[in-house]
Structure 1
């Protein structure tokens, strides 16, 4: 079976000596390490290789852009498909390069001179090349630059020939967008493949002269830096170990959104950010559905306002802004109350909506409040007054609307939203706790608090952040979701940053308002994600395959930090003193 004859076996036995048997010899094996790691076959075609069941194609670069910026190969390095990229750098003698430059400059000057003598227009490409050559000659002569020969090769692996052709088109498109001209290593695929193995085995030898500055910008090791001279510490950049120090108020808007599965570290991050912003003189307001921020509020001397039937704190949703009110203040308030009533009472028919509008106008008129801002100082109506207006209309539709309101006026929720407001926001760290409310009352409370905060921040313009935890409560209903989106768009005018937090990522991204809130947030933080949600997030944020895997395997407090056009992987860090205050 092994192809040995008796004579050969006897010969081998005599070679290995009498103390070794044939079995010992065969036990050593007849297969070398090379046999184990080598592919079973390699098929070389004129424009691709096939090694076992994988296809490969190599491209080499022949043309580069005139000007490049730092990390200009980033889009190629982060391409969402494995690529084998090799860079070959060969130092060149400056003396020889200067001689070649001198000759080339003389040729171009002669060309320009001849065209001018002939009365022709000078070719602008020749003039530009001459200017570049003269500048480079001066830098080389001073020793400020050195010269290198540079080769860039890219091998594309794929599972099928169709996939290989498709990926090749995509890579070629990216290179073209960078003004890079690439060619397939036709009839040299084997040499191209060997050139991109990690063995420094340059078999293609396609090089381009490049100076030190251009070569330095070619290295793909720079990451998006998010270190600023001002701001607070968010964490450590996991790409290069630098600190992420950032001021969200320097962006287009100060809004942020935090997405992550339960237990991913969202609350810890927000508590840490709130604590650090407070030390920087920024007021912090928090809508807290689970009373998670109560300890932090107590630790920093903040105010924790509990909303419940037995609570001393009350907010009247009919309050009007009396400090520099806009000319259309009452009209806007009635529109906001339309949305709130739909959150309270559910869907309304067009006729019911019209009836509600008449009732809201009437209830303000009963208190002597009109479009005249001077009347805004009158005592505002209560929910009970609206209920009485519906009852007084004596129509079936009005009675139905009154029945829907009855729970909030005379029923179990009557002590929460049916009294005049009895407090103001004076503490720089204020938390609104709504855990003690029924589940179905929380969206109502969150909406009313949002509206209350909106009226208060317009009185005094200063840096504030408003944290809306578990924002999916509001996103579930279209009217409250639309109000949250409107709030996010208007917040910038009053130096307010809205922080939206949710663990129900799929529902949040499934709504148009949720997507719009994310789009309208200049700061976006994505922590550990579930398998079900990561695809939707990758589609929304255009994540690479590596970034998706990072979010799936991230530890608590790890994730992606997006600020403007930059994003990095990061890890939240806190001192022991901060942990004591927060946990």
Structure 2
């Protein structure tokens, strides 16, 4: 009776064109370096199929016909098939799309499904934002640096926030700027800086926006504010701007707080940023200029406690630059979870991601802590506002979250667990494919993060310099 109902249901779907009928067969050609290797692979394949209750049979005495049938010639010489409707056939295709490319852009990698090139211009999509997720050592930074190198060839300017100096060698090799931001650094950024008003912009709106951003920064610095403290800080920042004809600093804000009733605690907390151990970080005029096609901001030498603050200030500085001068730019934020752990930092980053398209900017958000990123109330909105998405090798603790967030099949889930370095899934809009990131030898020498490889390169450079020095 159940089989009869299933048959009637299938008949109805065929009549309503909700299903189609096909003659379907699967042929698999196995490759190996030896007979023993072939036997081992065949046994493993049979075990997998048997576990799924799929009967398999070797094409004995028909190997030639079987091999020709699996070539891309659309010629079935075996003609071994069974009648099947489209729904179960669809289950044999684990990837939504087998081809993903455009007529322009840069090469992101090779489609592992059919070896086609994955070419894309991120600025031709709905927005130019990208997210890159993957465990440590999975190839996230390698892929990001390869995109930087290839984007620069097309005239795109790139700014990077680098928590671990992974982009230093790249910047130095191609003549980019590498700017260190730390408590003892000579490079300073004043958070009170404002971008010049552009045509059609109201200076009052720019000031109001900057006040909101500075209040968010102070919440980050102080570890949060009560509603009363928030109101006091908002008024103090407004008065600080009004009290100076030039751009104020944190010292000017402290003077205002000292004069306000009920602001004693806030003034004491700000003191370490003005005259205390953190004074060299925030309380100076900006002396950083961006005049290079590639600029890398390093915060590796910054205390862990101050890293989110440093990332916030650098983002604010870059955002002011982006708004003041319209250019094709990419902003890469590596280890974005550092900033995303705090609501004010996450909110600020989401605000930039949402508005980036208007200013010809594409933001690349890179993180290995997927759970920390997505648990933020702004994590999924940033993901939604990113047209390109990379998923590299994932850890078992993150894979279920990844599968649910990206609606992955079980085959794609296992692919991410077993991927080699530089392999994963590439999403563009509603389509996605399995990708392998491939660099040329020269590109690899420039973008590698492998410590052993970097030591070899450094040793080779020293030997070359020594040889040139002794050659008459």
Q: 1:293, 1:239 → 2: CA distance?
A: 31
**Alignment CA distance shift 1:431-1:225 (3 Å):** same
| 1:341 and 2:218 are equivalent in the alignment | yes
Q: Deviations over 1:457-488 (max 9, x none)?
A: 12221210000000001111011110000110
Q: Which residue of 2 aligns with 1:547?
A: 412
Aligned positions of 1:31-180 closer than 5 A? 46-48=1-3, 60=10, 64=14, 87=23
C-alpha displacement of 1:341: 0.6
**Alignment CA distance shift 1:353-1:86 (3 Å):** same
Structure 1: runs of 5+ lacking an equivalent: 1-45, 50-55, 74-84, 90-156, 160-197, 209-216, 369-378
C-alpha displacement of 1:525: 0.5
Q: 1:270, 1:299 → 2: CA distance?
A: 16
Q: 2:265, 2:348 → 1: CA distance?
A: 25
Q: Higher relative CO (CA 8 A, sep ≥ 6), structure 1 or 2?
A: 2
Q: Which residue of 2 aligns with 1:462?
A: 327
- Alignment match of 1:245 (pick from 119, 143, 148): 119
Q: Which residue of 1 aligns with 2:169?
A: 295
Q: Deviations over 1:283-330 (max 9, x none)?
A: 000000111100000111100010123322111000011242731111
CA contact (8 A) 1:261 1:527 kept: yes
Q: 2:152, 2:414 → 1: CA distance?
A: 35
| 1:233 and 2:98 are equivalent in the alignment | no
| 1:313 and 2:187 are equivalent in the alignment | yes
Q: Deviations over 1:162-182 (max 9, x none)?
A: xxxxxxxxxxxxxxxxxxxxx
Q: Which residue of 1 aligns with 2:139?
A: 265
- Alignment match of 1:561 (pick from 426, 435, 460): 426
| TM-score, normalization by structure 2 | 0.77
Q: Deviations over 1:118-153 (max 9, x none)?
A: xxxxxxxxxxxxxxxxxxxxxxxxxxxxxxxxxxxx
**Alignment CA distance shift 1:88-1:354 (3 Å):** closer
Q: Which residue of 1 aligns with 2:362?
A: 497
| 1:407 and 2:272 are equivalent in the alignment | yes
CA contact (8 A) 2:415 2:424 kept: yes
C-alpha displacement of 1:60: 4.9
Q: 2:84, 2:13 → 1: CA distance?
A: 11
**Alignment CA distance shift 1:59-1:65 (3 Å):** closer
C-alpha displacement of 1:223: 3.6
| 1:389 and 2:256 are equivalent in the alignment | yes
Shift >6 Å, 4+ stretches = 56-59, 65-68, 205-208, 219-222
Q: Which residue of 2 aligns with 1:582?
A: 447
**SS of alignment partner, residue 458 of structure 1:** helix
CA contact (8 A) 1:223 1:239 kept: no
Q: Which residue of 2 aligns with 1:522?
A: 387
Q: 2:16, 2:296 → 1: CA distance?
A: 56
**SS of alignment partner, residue 512 of structure 1:** coil
Q: Deviations over 1:332-387 (max 9, x none)?
A: 1101111111001121111111111111111111114xxxxxxxxxx210011111
**SS of alignment partner, residue 324 of structure 2:** coil
CA contact (8 A) 1:224 1:566 kept: no
Q: 1:386, 1:283 → 2: CA distance?
A: 34
CA contact (8 A) 2:394 2:417 kept: yes
Structure 2: runs of 5+ lacking an equivalent: 26-50, 54-77, 449-472
CA contact (8 A) 2:98 2:114 kept: no
Q: Which residue of 2 aligns with 1:352?
A: 229
CA contact (8 A) 1:323 1:459 kept: yes
CA contact (8 A) 1:290 1:433 kept: yes
Q: 1:206, 1:254 → 2: CA distance?
A: 42
Q: 1:226, 1:380 → 2: CA distance?
A: 49
**SS of alignment partner, residue 338 of structure 2:** helix
